[in-house]
Amino acid sequence: MTNVAGGLARVGFRGAVWQGLALISGKGIVLLTTIVLARLLSPEQYGLVAAALVLMAYMETIADAGVAQALVYLPASGVAARSALLVSVVLGAGLAVLAIIAAPWIGGLFQLPDVEPLVRVLAISLLATALGAVPEALLRRDLQFKKLAVAPVCRALTTGAVSLTLAFAGYGAFSLAAGTASGSVAYAATCWFLIRREAPWQLWRVAKDAIRATLKFGVPVAGSNLLARLIFDIDYVIIASVLGAQALGYYTLAFRLPEALIINVFFVLSTVLFPLYTQVQDQPGRLREGYLKGVRIQSLYGMTSGVGLAVLAPVIVPLVFGSKWTDSVVPLVFLSLYAAARSLGAGANDVYKAIGRPGLSIAFSSVRLAVLVPVLILSTQWGIVGVACAQMATAVLFAFGMQAVAARVLGIGARALFRAILPALACSLAVVLAGLEILLLPYLGGLPTAALVLVTAVAAVYLVLRLGFASLHDELVVLLRRR
């Protein structure tokens, strides 16, 4: 495919807008569902589902052997799409069967026998994820982000409708598992509907060379994604194994807000940036320029949002989820800062894949996991607060490490990289000062206080950008006007 007219920034912004609209719509529905379920379910029931979901997430990461990413990277062809679909169907079905058989073992691993039926229900989600990987990848490869935006909204609506219906009927933890599985099926079905005319159904028309090429790129990517998922979710496994389902329930709920508002945004941007970086992989100058713009924007959003959420944590948790979740307040502070730190390292893995070197992600993630596991295990002696604090500290350390490696690969100087994250650091400081000043005033009530902090913080960020980083401010304005 030739480079898309209008420039990397413009195409990326359009893709991010559509994916962002899908994210806002989908995650808005999910957030409302979470709020209602938090008031219907106990922390222990919430933790049971989280324990089942984390292991399913590991299997979903490798369910298509990375062939979806390979379809984005490799030259477009019908035989490649059919070969990729064959691999994902076979592997996804095999993993789903394995999950059903291993359900009792998984319950024993966490010493939570009630997890067993939840795992078997979620095996449906595993198969659906594998089946939907190829059509989703084809849409991303062709930069059809506007069309693809429909799928996550359908998933969120289905998940919410099924989960809430069963929860109000008294099905407890099963309602969340069934809703998740239903949403995955809806997502896969929507993706296939969106490419129905170009669907690579003819699985008998494959080629060994295409399968080998797909797996050669896809397997390292799948390995990298699995390591990233291990890093992202290993805290759930450790908490469930050491501290139990109730502690996991409090921790999971604390993670929901930074995950929905910050981390998931980076996942969306990653789906946009990877195919865009691939478009200019043979143009080092444009790739460096695009990468620095990505770092600048992602760190600006992630840092300011994470710091703001940390400031508001004591107000938000009782206001949104209810007083029974107050044990989630302090973990939310540290997990919000953890999400902010992750934003400083965002984008590096996308570049490694785009230049055909996914092995760099595997090497870096292996080191990170080797450090993270013992640190988190040690931190459990201070409960979920200790785990959240350890996550934040580790994220800060490795964010700078990831950017150092990416800068070396792309030939970016340390000064240029620092200039890219400087607006985020300055705006974050402004948010802290604005937020703490409001919180030190007499308490006005949950909702008025949250609204006042939000308005003040946004105004502070705007002033910092307008007065201190005029070029970035003008660039953002231009992007909005082009849209």
Residue-wise pLDDT for 53-91, tens only, equals: 776 666 666 666 567 777 777 777 777 778 888 888 888
E strand or H helix that includes residue 415: helix 414-439
Q: Nearest to residue 179, comparing CAs of 158, 198, 194?
A: 158
Do residues 302 and 344 touch, judged by C-beta distance below 8 A?
yes
DSSP code of residue 113: T
pLDDT at 84 (0 to 100): 80
Whole-angstrom Cα distance, residue 479 to residue 96?
Answer: 43
Does residue 482 surpass a pLDDT of 70? no
Banded model confidence at residue 190, pLDDT cuts 50, 70, 90? very high
Counting other chains too, the contacts that 238-243 makes at CB distance below 8 Å and 24 or more residues apart are 238/373, 238/376, 238/377, 238/380, 238/387, 239/380, 239/384, 239/387, 240/47, 240/50, 240/51, 240/54, 240/110, 240/112, 241/109, 241/110, 241/111, 242/377, 242/380, 243/380, 243/383, 243/384
Q: How many CA atoms within 13 Å lie on the side-chain side of 140?
A: 28
Does residue 336 surpass a pLDDT of 50? yes
pLDDT at 328 (0 to 100): 93
Higher pLDDT residue, 406 or 375?
Answer: 375
Question: Both tokens of residue 93?
Answer: 């079905």
pLDDT at 355 (0 to 100): 72
pLDDT at 64 (0 to 100): 62
pLDDT at 81 (0 to 100): 79
pLDDT at 27 (0 to 100): 60
pLDDT at 93 (0 to 100): 86
Banded model confidence at residue 6, pLDDT cuts 50, 70, 90? very low
pLDDT at 333 (0 to 100): 94
E strand or H helix that includes residue 156: helix 150-168
Per-residue pLDDT tens over the stretch 202-233: 766 777 777 777 777 777 777 767 777 777 78
Which of 38-47, 305-314, 359-368, 438-447 ranks highest by mean pLDDT?
305-314
Residues ≥6 apart with Cβ < 8 Å to 147? 139, 194
DSSP code of residue 149: T
Mean pLDDT of the chain, nearest integer: 80
pLDDT at 481 (0 to 100): 64
Mean pLDDT of 342-366: 75
Per-residue pLDDT tens over the stretch 10-56: 555 555 555 555 556 656 666 666 777 777 777 877 777 777 777 66
How much of the chain exceeds pLDDT 90, in percent? 14
Secondary structure (3-state) at 199: coil
Mean pLDDT of 392-402: 87
pLDDT at 377 (0 to 100): 94
Mean pLDDT of 78-107: 82
Do residues 199 and 136 touch, judged by C-beta distance below 8 A?
no
Does residue 110 surpass a pLDDT of 80? no
Query: Which residue blocks in 169-263 are alpha helix, DSSP H?
Result: 173-194, 208-242, 245-258
Does residue 471 surpass a pLDDT of 90? no
Q: Nearest to residue 279, comparing CAs of 268, 290, 270, 269?
A: 290
Per-residue pLDDT tens over the stretch 267-290: 766 666 666 677 666 777 777 887
Handedness of CA 157, 45, 324, 265 (dihedral sign): negative
Do residues 47 and 40 touch, judged by C-beta distance below 8 A?
no
